[in-house]
Amino acid sequence: MQPLIRDNVRLAATILLVRQASSGLEVFMMQRPGGVDFPDLHVFPGGKVDEQDFLPDLVAGLDDSEASRRLGLSAGGLRYWIAAIRECFEECGVLLAYRKGQPLRLSDVAEVARFEAYREQLIDNALSLEEICRAEHLRLAADRVTYFSHWITPEQAPRRFDTRFFMALMPPEQATVAHAWETVADEWVCPRDALRARDAGRWQMIAPTIITLTSIAGYQHVQELLGAVVAEQHVFELTDDLRRQGMQDLR
């Protein structure tokens, strides 16, 4: 497997959580607080890949061989899917998982509270995602998470990340609740509106976020977008300018 850190470059995963609204397609975004990686920026949920992000026996619909093939790796690709699912749970309270073969549904107040407690313990490193899955008889829904793009922070940056972007449809059985320590603001937003906020100077974003929003802004329907991503029709032609900004080949 790839080392988690090599030459000051840290492996990471980001997830675009999307849904269909009456006004069109929306994506979940957050504003980072000061004092963290990418302070004050509007971003998608995401973070570093951890050693514990390899749970092949707790994943549904995808094995490491196929995950690695999709990313162009020899092994360890499944870690990115698990990291994206874990970060989604940590940062927006949505756990992409199955229980008894059905998408996880948090159906009552007590269950919502129990999973919020799991989330706090996961963030505090007091509990692992594996322990949560085994306690609740869950399998992680990797088959509901689609590979989207690949970015490596340019060399001039002081902190660099090798990040795989993913996309998932927001499960109707759950609700987004951004974590107070991880964010200062969060919202579901139309990609075009997010880009307008950036153009007006109200939101700050870095190139991967801007280019990602631009690549999905022309879609009005979630299923159309997901189909395009599965078929790999969503990615811009990789120009020299995009390479300078950190965009990589899908594999």
- Digit-coded pLDDT (tens) for 140-191: 999 999 999 999 999 988 889 999 999 999 998 899 988 766 666 789 999 9
Question: What mean pLDDT do residues 74-84 have?
Answer: 98
Query: 36 pLDDT exceeds 60?
Result: no
Query: 211 pLDDT exceeds 70?
Result: yes
Distance between CA 227 and CA 234 in Å, rounded? 9
What pLDDT, on a 0 to 100 scale, did the predictor assign at position 86?
A: 98
CATH topology for 5-244? Nucleoside Triphosphate Pyrophosphohydrolase (3.90.79)
pLDDT in tens, 9-24: 999 999 999 999 999 9
Determine phi and psi for 117, rounding to 5 degrees. -65, -40
Distance between CA 222 and CA 228 in Å, rounded? 10
Contact (CB, 8 A) for 142 and 77? no
Side chain identity at residue 142, one-letter code: A
What pLDDT, on a 0 to 100 scale, did the predictor assign at position 107?
A: 80
List b or e across 154-193, with b for residues whose CB sees 16 or more CB atoms inside 10 angstroms: eeeeeebbbbbbbbbbbbeebebebbeebbeebeebbbeb
Listed by start position, the domains of the chain span 5-244
**Residue 38, token pair as written in the block:** 């990418």
Q: What is the pTM of this model?
A: 0.95
Torsion, Cα 206 208 209 212, to 10 degrees, reads 150
1 CB contacts (<8 Å, ≥6 apart)? 54, 75, 76, 79
**Maximum Cα interatomic distance, the chain, rounded to a whole number of Å:** 52
Query: 38 pLDDT exceeds 90?
Result: no
* DSSP code of residue 72: T
Determine phi and psi for 244, rounding to 5 degrees. -60, -30
Distance between CA 79 and CA 27 in Å, rounded? 23
**Pairing mode of beta strands 160-169, 9-21:** parallel
